Amino acid sequence: MDPLEDPVKRGRTYDVSGRQERTRLSRQRVLREALRLMSSSGYVATTVPQVAEGAGVSVEFIYKQMGDKAALARQVLEFALVGDDDHLEMRDRPIIQRMIEERDPFQVTMLYADMAGGINARAGAFLVALAAAAPTNPAVEELSKRAAVSRRAGARSFVRDVAGKTELSVPVSSAVDGVWALTSPELHRMLVGERGWSEERYTQWLGETLAHALRLA
C-alpha cells in the first residue's frame, strides 16, 4: 500500500463503485419487470408504480434513472432486442459477425433465424403491445414505428448478405418483403403463443421457411 495514499479517498472510490453497481442491477430489474408487465398486460395497463413494486425499487428511482413511462418503454425495447444492457451495437454482436464470416448462404439463413427467433422470444409480445398502444401516445407511436423500420432494415441487410454469397432467383425487394413478414412478432405470437409451438420448433421452422423462400433449399 502506498503510505501516501489517502485511505478516506480510497474508501470513497470503493463506495462510488459499489453504488454504481447497485444502480446498474436495479436498472436491470426495472427493465426486466417492465418488459414482463408490458408484454403480458399491455403498455397502457402497466403503471410505473407496478413496475417499481415488482422490481423492488421506488417510483422515484424509475423516474430519476429511466424517465417517464414512454422513456422507460424505449429503454425496455433496446434491452429486449439484444437481451442485455451492454450498449454493444447490433453489428458488433457475435452472431452478426458469424453471419458475415459464414460463406454458406443456408447456414447464414439458419443463423439469422436463430437471431430473429431469440428477438421474438424476448421482445415479440412487447412489440405487439407497443403497436396496440401506438394510438394512445405520440411517443409510443414513434417508438413502434422506429422498431418496425429497424426490423425491415435488418431484413434488408440479411437479404443483401445472402445475395452477396449466392445468386438469388427472386427479386431482392420481394425477398426483403418475405423475410420481413416471416419474422414478424405477430406471426411468432400466432405460432408460439396461440398454437403452442416451442421456441425451438419455431426457430427451426423459420430457418427452413426462409431458406425455401429464398430458394436456397
Which one is predicted more confidently, 86 or 126? 126
C-alpha span between 148 and 109 (Å, rounded): 21
pLDDT tens-place string over residues 91-141? 677 888 899 999 999 999 999 999 999 999 999 999 999 999 999 999 999
Q: Looking at the chain, which runs of residues are DSSP E strands?
A: none
Residue 127 · residue 146 · CB < 8 Å: no
Mean pLDDT (the chain, rounded): 90
C-alpha span between 53 and 197 (Å, rounded): 32
Q: Is it the case that residue 10 has pLDDT exceeding 60?
A: no
Neighbours of 198 (CB within 10 A): 10
CATH of domain 1-83: 1.10.357.10
pTM metric for this prediction: 0.83
C-alpha span between 32 and 52 (Å, rounded): 11
Portion of the chain with pLDDT greater than 70, in percent? 89
**Grid cell at residue 174:** 420481394
Q: Is it the case that residue 39 has pLDDT exceeding 80?
A: yes
